[in-house]
Structure 1
């Protein structure tokens, strides 16, 4: 990787798609001091470089495609780094493979340490059984285990972990959470949902500073390998020490960041530590590599864990509509926090999955905007996964940004209709309906829930094929985005969502020299081949941070 001081560069003989309507295409560009100096024909930029950048390295891209660096609008960045060190349960095809992977890791785990990891999805298994502690107790013995489902809202603990945490038949369900129990004995099965996970997490050893630094370096390398030059992070989720934010700051001081981080701290910390919150800054005054990006809240859980909150019961759980998160209690607290943060000029983004959770959130946003008066607040709904058709115009009218994660369609599209039925599924991941209504879309991955891979997200938004192979023409195909709309979600839309449209999202003179070199042009390849496109190089602030 190049030195942080290497921020001048020249690219020639490229197919540059700037996404800037005023100058949509170019053959070459010049970078000075980490920002784009000029774009044009190769001969023009060669001449300019000879005069102003005589010592800058020159990359001859031989016709390869260049796009603005991708912006992932929703990550759990440090957790993603740790996931690269943990047991990977993504793609486990059945309970036997799930157990085998955990057993293999347990054999390598020293006594006193935990087996952590996740990515399992029971909906892809025959008959979709939720895992049970008994599956893994025999192969893990006294080694505590806690592994999360792909959505992070539900996890499995073995008996050793439950004993350490003191979770038993007499432990009550916390507000906003659930302990699954054996109906005959009342004993926990090992499955914990949402707020119940906190009962266990307090007993999991905290990673050391060195372990955190290793995880962050892995996350930065993963981002660079996928063309990601900026992330909008859910930072220090369930972590009141803000150790992730402090780690990001330490990397920034040492010039070790190779990806720009827009860090959002928990909304619930507004009551606990509002005086300690960093200042929200944007534009030229803001730090170009690390910014406090406001506060992030939660209304409900996930569809896979049946904790997404709906108006009508789940199709496969009669009488049950899901759960609101604990920060929605007592009543009016979520609205008060959002109102007060908004009064202080701090951006707010809130997770909402189920149609009722989304509708409740839009009501809150509307009342807060009316109470506090007009301003450029850019409220965000994270996920907007299941919507009432009548709520889509409300999102557009209120200028709420929809932070979407298209890659979730690949997994959820195979089983979502079992959960909520075909009618509600019509407005699940309703990307096209939102775009047609004029809603700004900000594309993300939700890493570690899905891979940190914008090209996968673009493919999913455009094709909407599912992992089970049952939807070759696309699941809910009327909700497909065009390639241009999908690429915009991971560039211009995401830049707008973080108040950075004057600094990134397009390749325009004066903006950050953040760009990605691709093996093919997503605008001209067959859409069925979008998934084949590879990242060849990633440049952030003029610095080459990935080279295949």
Structure 2
């Protein structure tokens, strides 16, 4: 008989193997479940600690399949502009931030929603110069695809009159040919970052900020994070710091590192290399921008700006080449695609790669917000996984029809249609773009409303999914997308003992109260890595 290191009894363990299935207790040995069943049977296996959950509901721990851990660390160092409702309020918050920034550092703000700003425009260099002309100032939009700079920041970035770039439309100019201070997309990486320098300037500061970020993850029930390269310029984020935290016993989250760097070709690092705590994930590519900035690539113009069609980062030939090269080397390929025109490009590139070399790994389409007619049927024939962030829905309830029109809106983030077609859909947050709390995303997926808002207005309610389907996005589906479905994602003997204890039963409370649920305990490998403190 195998004896457990630890048993958890008197719970309601939703295994997520099938809808409605639950057990009373689990036994854990060497970080894995060795038993799932009744309390009486579990106690018989106990050799060590017995933890009584007193009837609390339990789920497999969450995975965030699309998060930028280091970017979220960086965002926490900037002024939070998510609640700003006017340019004057933006300037006030940025001025307060400027008063607490060390000399020589850029003053930065993030999370600006143009939809919330009464002037319905972004602040330009003239606005930001009112804060300071001799200190560089940068403001980032909510979507992370638009950046606003004052005159000093433009100067340091080398963006002036007559500035040329290989992609048109990424820098706005006034009638005199001077930059307005509003720039987009890759201008940030290529021009601004080299001039600005890191927001987390030293090794120790970076490492401790990252540890703090991971503690926020487990507080929200996240035990695995599929993290994407930050704008810090390090193609593997801070791999050495994840490893150090693991060696120090301070890595409470399993890390899957996804990178835009050519790892497979350069050093032979392909998807799956690593261990159960740190492993290499996908090759990350971009095809377009965002709907917020009207840079997501559409077949037809934006309804509120008909002459604008968005931006394609690559042409079809380039995308085919990038996808095929990574896929041939054994990489899972993960491509950002929001608009229907961008999704067309990515689907075509995936079809080409499979035609050339057969099925090797998954293709992950990140966001997949606006498929066109025929896209779902084509994707069904491919090893495509849709890496969706349902929490985005709360930002589009009132804006979607105005931005893309009533007809296209019917296909906006069609979760039910995707799932009815048999496609695997996973859940993430895209933090720092959105809140990392998966419970918010789950409520958005099942109600398509704004959590906590009384109006009850829903965005295309025919695309609502069940609570079981939404929880699956953040648990068993998330494990499948990295070929780890035999290792984690459900509460099953032999799998990693990663699970969370909730304050309320997500399957029995009203759907519009899911956001009120709290994570009481987070367990990784049978070890409690977070426990709430009741005042």
Shorter-chain TM-score: what band?
over 0.9
Out of 2, 9, 12, the residue aligned to residue 9 of structure 2 is 12
Q: Is the CA contact 2:9–2:52 (under 8 Å) kept in the aligned structure 1?
A: yes
In 2, distance between residues paired with 1:119 and 1:255? 33
Aligned-residue offset at 1:167: 1.1
Per the alignment, residue 240 of structure 2 pairs with 246
The 1:281–1:382 alpha-carbon spacing in structure 2 relative to 1, beyond 3 Å, is same
In 2, distance between residues paired with 1:352 and 1:543? 38
Aligned-residue offset at 1:360: 1.1
Between the two proteins, the alignment pairs up a number of residues equal to 526
Per the alignment, residue 275 of structure 1 pairs with 266
Per the alignment, residue 415 of structure 2 pairs with 431
Other structure's SS at 2:398 match: coil
Q: How does 1:65-464 map to 2 (within 5 A)?
A: 65-175=57-167, 178-182=170-174, 184-197=175-188, 198-206=190-198, 207-236=201-230, 239=233, 242-266=236-260, 269-270=261-262, 274-281=265-272, 286-325=274-313, 328=314, 332-375=317-360, 377-464=361-448
Per the alignment, residue 36 of structure 1 pairs with 33
The 1:390–1:465 alpha-carbon spacing in structure 2 relative to 1, beyond 3 Å, is same
Aligned-residue offset at 1:296: 0.8
Per the alignment, residue 473 of structure 2 pairs with 489
Aligned-residue offset at 1:157: 1.4
Other structure's SS at 1:73 match: strand
How big is the alpha-carbon RMSD for the aligned residues of Structure 1 and Structure 2? 2.1
Other structure's SS at 1:110 match: coil
Aligned-residue offset at 1:243: 4.6
Q: Is the CA contact 1:30–1:39 (under 8 Å) kept in the aligned structure 2?
A: yes
Q: Is the CA contact 1:80–1:219 (under 8 Å) kept in the aligned structure 2?
A: yes
Per the alignment, residue 488 of structure 2 pairs with 504
CA offsets, 1:269-301, max 9 Å, x none?
32x87222524337xxx5010000120100000
In 2, distance between residues paired with 1:241 and 1:310? 30
In 1, distance between residues paired with 2:404 and 2:247? 48
Other structure's SS at 1:142 match: coil
In 2, distance between residues paired with 1:176 and 1:47? 69
Other structure's SS at 2:99 match: helix
In 2, distance between residues paired with 1:452 and 1:467? 14
CA offsets, 1:360-412, max 9 Å, x none?
1101101110111234x211100001111321121222231000000001012
Q: Is the CA contact 2:236–2:258 (under 8 Å) kept in the aligned structure 1?
A: no
In 2, distance between residues paired with 1:530 and 1:470? 14
In 1, distance between residues paired with 2:272 and 2:120? 46
The 1:17–1:123 alpha-carbon spacing in structure 2 relative to 1, beyond 3 Å, is same
Gaps of 5+ in 2: none
Other structure's SS at 1:381 match: strand
Other structure's SS at 1:362 match: helix
